[in-house]
Structure 1
């Protein structure tokens, strides 16, 4: 009898846990929706070739268009806090990159950086956005933004690079010296999300436990694709040397603003000066004291206000 009661209690416990997790996921999605609305964004969909893109859009479509690109294992929602300051004056577009967030792809989809840049161009065309874009990229999104700018120079009015990935001579972190180390920050089991936050942020914001669990579960479900993206970044480090990456960067004519967290543990801050030396038309890098690899989440105002000032100066 006691054994039976214990089995029933265990069953009820699992059922209750399942209900609580489902509620946390629903709450997590509701919070994201509220944050998008707070930032003046709406969720939209467009099909471009073999990709059905999910993206956020906000602001007046008659205003200059700003395209924001997230980083490895990120989503469009990484930019919400910055986008809030942009939507009153600009037309803001933030896609979930293929195999990230809600933009789904086939298992054999090519997740290389060059292909993502090309698919992003097809996305802007399919959605009929103004092709004269201000492009901003964070981390891996910065590498995509640079390649996009090099390939379509007449369609890029300006460039914002936030802790941008690349193949740098100043490789002072484990992740730059050996990109294979990126595999260690893939969220694929319980507890990995906390480890990632510790690496990515110097001063992480408070995240309620139930929301953290929902975010971790989402990232675990996408871990196979994240590993594919890590492989793509490793291949980029083989495809480009610091010299050939420098040649690519030197072809970019667009005015550029570089922002970096001084305590970045993923792409060290010395890379900001190196990148400025490569770009033809870059302002002095903005180095944020006490900030890690995620300024767009750690210190959104310190990114948004200088970016708005920069955009006003771009002709």
Structure 2
């Protein structure tokens, strides 16, 4: 039997992304995968979210949805090896004011794709576009992305600028000239942070978070099992990233970034070890409507869990202004 003993939520890392989880204590019986899923469901409910599914072509999407459908839509995109639950702590502050959609990306979380599905970022963006069309949320969309999800959100915003109202990038992946990160200079190192065996989860937390929290061992073990089960898909995505870094250059990345028209807010953890803060001025210089970036001290790669209240304090006023500003490209779709 599980007992919810406190809120707000306790973060759990998932590779370059994370999952936030309600703080729990296992009493009597050990934590099972079924009760672990119940904990996740409790957290989604606390954030004002419910689970939905939608089949689009050969992809069976699973996503969280919350808020009033009559209000502007915000779509939140998670990072590598993460899931929709990465965003629960942020979504809690959005659902009272906005319609919120958080999909599990292809081959992540509970979204199912064929074994041969192309996991390169451009194909994920195209699949995400088909999802937004099928869900009827493709117009006047406010897009936010964390880590790898930032690269997906950025490319989506560049390609579909006539439908994107605003963009939020949090510790976003990209091909940068100014990076000092070993993981960006040599993306093959990403292979070393895949959780494939017991103990890898602790190692990952120390890399992804500046000040990792205490997590009850039963909860940690179940999360680690989930990540080990997803390791093959994580490897596939990483191999595609390695290929991408092999043929994309900072110049080709810049072309895509310069095509972003939407007002853009950039938020970064100052102590990010995976995508270092040195790239922020470069990214801001590429995006024509980028606001002054927000740098969060004593925060690592995961501000959406390490400092979600600081993220929301900056994002809500930005979002309010963005949705009130007409998109000059609306209605100009090719």
TM over 0.5: yes
2:110 match: 102
Q: Does the alignment pair 1:199 with 2:220?
A: no
Worse-superposed segment, 114-123 or 23-32: 23-32
Contact 1:25/1:211 (8 A) holds in 2: no
Report matched runs for 1:1-315 at 5 Å.
23-314=31-322, 315=325
RMSD: 1.2
Contact 1:111/1:228 (8 A) holds in 2: yes
Consecutive unaligned residues in structure 2, runs of 5 or more: 1-27, 326-334
Could you state the TM-score of these two structures normalised by the residue count of structure 2?
0.87
Return structure 1 stretches of 4+ with deviation > 4 angstroms. Answer: none
Contact 1:65/1:130 (8 A) holds in 2: no
Contact 1:27/1:211 (8 A) holds in 2: no
Contact 2:159/2:259 (8 A) holds in 1: no
Counting strand residues as a fraction of each chain, which structure ranks higher?
A: 2
Which protein has the larger Cα radius of gyration, Structure 1 or Structure 2?
1
1:171–1:130 Cα change, 3 Å? closer
1:177–1:130 Cα change, 3 Å? closer
Contact 1:71/1:138 (8 A) holds in 2: yes
Aligned residues: 296
CA apart distance, 1:206 = 2.6
Consecutive unaligned residues in structure 1, runs of 5 or more: 1-18
Q: Following the alignment from structure 2 to structure 1, what is the Cα–Cα distance between the partners of residues 29 and 126?
A: 41
Counting helix residues as a fraction of each chain, which structure ranks higher?
A: 1
